[in-house]
């Protein structure tokens, strides 16, 4: 039996690692989870039945505070992990985990899928597990690749809720537009995406058919967005954690300023428009080239988004293929983790 440590420092890491944890535990290994209390990460972990040890929170956008917070969190993680006798540490882009693992000479595996993220720490102090699409971007001795998208790892787990429309009090016979604002505190954030977001919100405000569900990254962001709505009656701003896949399933289209929710929608067959204006990633370009993702670069291009009456996506068409793909990728990730821990 091996002891694996997983750190979740953002909400999308909860669904990503849930099937991986189940697979590793099913093979007889022990998994412990730490979590950064940021946004709705802790709420989603509790809803998923994942036990965790909370360490640290998000410092905001200020660079000096980010660096200080990272060092402090890494020290706290190292102090905690030192007593646990782990064989391997695993994360999706957690710098705190990578530094902490280095401090206690624990091997680490880092996953990420956006090549423009600041990855120097990951490449220097851990092995990398990346989607195969990035094979031409990264090279080196400590690299492994999986044949697909990270979202495919967990989409096979998804069982949609039948009650979400009523739970969120969505008006009947409206075109539901799911909106994910950009990550304004990320180091790769480009403020142009905020202008495009405002154009999307204004368009929905003036529509008699569209109804927007806004999924803020934090309560602070939700409050900020509410102040710029021309017609608040055409929107529902989430104030608690809701399964993102359920939200996508209940929507007619998705407009996203990030990556994960956009790719989830694309892979589930829901029309999705990206308003992310930072450096274009290989994964997004691949989805755009295949027609699964539409990229909106400028506020004036928002007119290309059809927010009026449109046919509902055929959600069931890809369900079995998605399940099979998910099982294959979960097994692949677990194999890489176990091999790395064995070394």
Q: What are the tens digits of pLDDT across the range 75-109?
A: 999 999 999 999 999 999 999 999 999 999 999 99
List pLDDT tens digits, range 20-46: 999 999 999 999 999 998 878 999 999
Give the ranges where 116-270 is alpha helix by DSSP (H).
120-125, 152-155, 164-167, 192-205, 219-226, 244-249, 260-268
pLDDT of residue 311: 65
- 242 and 188, same structural domain? yes
Domain of residue 80, residue span: 3-112+114-148+323-342
User: 146 phi and psi, to 5 degrees?
Assistant: -120, 145
Token pair 């990398």 is found at 128
Same domain, 134 and 232: no
Q: What is the CATH number of the domain that holds 248?
A: 3.40.50.2000
Q: Do 238 and 297 belong to one domain? A: yes
Residue 179's SS3 state is strand
Q: Are both 217 and 85 inside the same structural domain?
A: no
Are 96 and 202 in the same domain? no
Same-domain check for residues 25 and 125: yes
Residues 94 and 221 in one domain: no
At 185 the pLDDT is: 65
**Residue-level pLDDT at 61:** 58
The verdict on residue 75 lying in a domain is yes
DSSP state of 280: P
Asked if residue 318 is part of any domain, the answer here is no
Of the candidates 242, 248, 245, 178, the residue with the CA atom closest to the CA atom of residue 213: 178
In a domain, 154, yes or no: no
Buried b (16+ CB within 10 A) or exposed e, 222-237: beebeeebeeeebbbb
Asked if 17 and 100 count as a contact pair (C-beta separation under 8 A), the reply is no
Q: Evaluate whether residue 127 is within a structural domain.
A: yes
| pTM across the whole model | 0.85
Residue 156 forms part of a structural domain: no
Structural domain includes residue 188 = yes
Residues 224, 126 within the same domain:
no
Query: What's residue 329's pLDDT?
Result: 96
Based on the fold, state whether residues 8 and 123 are members of the same structural domain: yes
Distance of CA 120 to the CA centre of its chain: 21
* CA nearest neighbour of 86 among 111, 106, 105, 100: 106
Exposed / middle / buried, residue 114 (Cβ in 10 Å: 0-12, 13-18, 19+): buried
Residue 164 has a pLDDT of: 74
Tell me whether residue 312 is exposed, middle or buried, using C-beta atoms within 10 angstroms of its C-beta: 0 to 12, 13 to 18, 19 or more.
exposed
Listed as ranges, residues in the chain with pLDDT below 70 are 57-64, 162, 185-190, 309-317
């Amino acid at each position: 039996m091996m002891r694996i440590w997983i750190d979740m420092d953002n909400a999308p890491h909860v669904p990503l690692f849930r099937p991986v944890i189940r697979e590793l535990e099913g093979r007889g290994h022990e998994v412990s989870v730490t979590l950064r209390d940021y946004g709705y990460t802790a709420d989603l972990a509790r809803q998923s039945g994942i036990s965790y040890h909370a360490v640290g929170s998000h410092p905001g956008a200020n660079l000096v505070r980010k660096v200080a917070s990272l060092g402090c969190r890494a020290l706290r993680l190292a102090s905690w992990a030192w007593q646990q006798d782990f064989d391997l540490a695993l994360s999706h882009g957690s710098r705190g985990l990578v530094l902490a693992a280095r401090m206690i000479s624990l091997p680490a595996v880092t996953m990420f899928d956006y090549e423009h993220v600041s990855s120097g720490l990951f490449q220097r102090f851990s092995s990398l597990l990346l989607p195969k699409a990035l094979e031409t971007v990264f090279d080196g001795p400590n690299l492994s690749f999986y044949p697909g998208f990270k979202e495919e790892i967990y989409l096979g787990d998804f069982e949609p809720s039948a009650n979400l429309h009523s739970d969120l009090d969505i008006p009947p016979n409206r075109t539901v537009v799911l909106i994910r604002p950009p990550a304004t505190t990320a180091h790769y954030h480009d403020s142009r995406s905020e202008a495009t977001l405002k154009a999307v919100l204004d368009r929905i405000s003036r529509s008699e058919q569209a109804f927007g569900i806004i999924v803020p990254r934090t309560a602070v962001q939700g409050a900020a967005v509410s102040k710029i709505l021309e017609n608040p009656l055409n929107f529902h701003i989430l104030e608690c954690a809701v399964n993102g896949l359920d939200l996508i399933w209940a929507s007619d289209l998705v407009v996203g300023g990030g990556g994960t929710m956009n790719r989830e929608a694309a892979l589930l067959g829901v029309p999705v428009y990206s308003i992310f204006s930072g450096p274009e990633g290989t994964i997004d370009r691949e989805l755009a080239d295949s027609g699964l993702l539409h990229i909106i670069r400028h506020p004036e291009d928002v007119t290309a988004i059809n927010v009026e009456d449109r046919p509902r996506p055929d959600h069931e068409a890809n369900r079995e293929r998605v399940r099979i793909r998910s099982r294959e990728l979960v097994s692949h990730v677990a194999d890489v983790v176990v091999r790395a821990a064995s070394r």
